[in-house]
Amino acid sequence: METERFASSGVSSATRRARLWAPDCALSDRTLAPRSVPVCGVTEVYERQSGDKVLFNFGASSLLARQIEEGAPADIFFSADEAKMDGLEAKGLVVKETRKSRLSNTLVIVVATEKGAAIESPKDLTTDKVKRLALAEPRTVPAGIYAKEYLQKQNLWAAVESKVVPTENVRAALSAVEAGNAEAGIVYKTDAAISKKTSVAYEVPARDSPAISYPVALVKESKQAEAAKKFLQHLDSAAAARAPARVGGSAPSPTAPRR
């Protein structure tokens, strides 16, 4: 699930390298990552313009936060929710002044493309059409936490809780539906966009969705603080602002928490 964890990329020592811990992607091939992780598309532009390198470590935000707590060599933490960033900030592990909500996303219900469950609304998840519902672990992983919050808001959680198949991260939830191990799943729109074996049956309207916010911050013990700060500054550029839309992401909603 992780790529370049203790990054050694072969670039010259004169090239500055920032290690970016980014959420919810099980892809091992970085060339595929921009399709499901909005921040990856931003880095391509940055690297061309700056000559610096951004080295990725992908995983569930809960896992990445724990790695940083244990001293992993991260320079930037990009979380899929505010809670994981709150935890690191409370422990003094990120630089509070650099923290900012950068991205948002959309929840979707996915089913198998071929002979998938006939889902027309979230209420269909409570019927016999769906015996297993794949979610990223709803106790710890942001995508699952958001999905549970949405289902609770719709008064559906009690009816579907026993059907939930918890997975390590959002990509694993998508894979469960692809493999036929669940009739439906709730994932991010950006992840659903890369799958050829699943289709979006329902997109959660913004008015019904929890506030999905991806904050980013400089890790206090960064060994490449200057390179990391330069990349964070790039995220304020017009080019960086346009990148999320290319993969189905978006800027934070007006209701998303901001730091």
Tokens coding 196: 């050829």
**Do 135 and 197 belong to one domain?**
yes
What pLDDT does residue 40 have? Answer: 64
Rg of the chain over Cα atoms, rounded to whole angstroms, equals 18
Shared domain for 71 and 127, answered yes or no, is no
**Which range is least confidently modeled, 2-6, 23-27, 91-95, 143-147?**
2-6
Query: Which pLDDT band holds residue 12 (cuts at 50, 70, 90)?
Result: very low
144 and 161 Cβ atoms separated by less than 8 Å: no
Same domain, 155 and 118: yes
Residue 208 located in a structural domain? no
What CATH number has the domain bearing residue 31?
3.40.190.10
Strand, coil or helix: what is 206?
coil
Cα–Cα distance for residue pair 108/245, rounded to 1 Å: 16
Which pLDDT belongs to residue 242?
64
- Please tell me the distance from the alpha carbon of residue 142 to that of residue 136, in angstroms, as a whole number: 8
Q: Is residue 12 part of a domain?
A: no
Question: What pLDDT band is residue 258 in, cutting at 50, 70 and 90?
Answer: very low
Query: Which residue from 133, 114, 138, 144 is spatially nearest to 176, judged by alpha carbons?
Result: 133
User: pLDDT (tens digit, 9 = 90+) per residue, 101-149?
Assistant: 888 889 999 999 999 999 999 999 999 999 999 999 999 999 999 999 9
Name residues whose C-beta falls within 8 Å of residue 70's C-beta, 6 or more positions apart in sequence. none
- Considering the domain architecture, whether residues 98 and 22 belong to the same structural domain is answered as yes
Tell whether 170 and 84 lie within a shared domain: no
The greatest distance separating any two alpha carbons of the chain, rounded to the nearest whole angstrom, comes to: 60
In a domain, 258, yes or no: no
Is residue 11 a part of any domain in this protein?
no
Q: Is 34 within a domain?
A: yes
- Average pLDDT of the chain is 82
- Kindly state whether residues 96 and 218 are assigned to the same domain: yes
Q: How many domains does the chain have?
A: 2
Residue 236 has pLDDT above 70, yes or no: yes
Question: Does residue 4 sit within a domain?
Answer: no
Same domain for 168 and 190, yes or no, is yes
Max mean pLDDT range (25-29, 38-42, 100-104, 162-166): 162-166
Structural domain range at position 77? 17-104+214-246
How many other β-carbons are positioned within 10 Å of the β-carbon of residue 226? Answer: 12
pLDDT tens, residue by residue, 189-205: 988 988 999 999 999 99
pLDDT of residue 23: 66
Contact 127, 65 (CB under 8 A): no
pLDDT band at 35 (very low <50, low <70, confident <90, very high): very low
pLDDT (average), residues 150-170? 97
| 42-54 residue pLDDT tens | 777 788 888 888 8
User: Taking a C-beta distance cutoff of 8 angstroms, is the pair 163, 117 a contact?
Assistant: no
Beta strand pairing call for 164-167 and 17-23: unpaired
The answer as to whether 255 is a domain residue is no
89/118 same-domain check: no
For the chain, first and last CA: distance in Å?
Answer: 29
The mean pLDDT value for 58-66 works out to 86
- Residues 98 and 112 occupy one common structural domain: no
In angstroms, rounded to a whole number, what is the distance separating the alpha carbons of residues 118 and 165? 19
The most confident of 61-65, 76-80, 107-111, 166-170, by mean pLDDT: 107-111
33: phi > 0 → left, psi -120 to 50 → alpha, else beta; which? alpha
Helix or strand (DSSP H, E) at 142: helix 142-153
Amino acid found at 245? A
Same domain? For 144 and 178 the reply is: yes
**Do 230 and 196 reside in the same domain of the chain?**
no
What global pTM score does this model have? 0.77
For residue 100, being part of any structural domain is answered with yes
- SS3 helix, strand, coil % of the chain, rounded to 5? 35, 20, 40
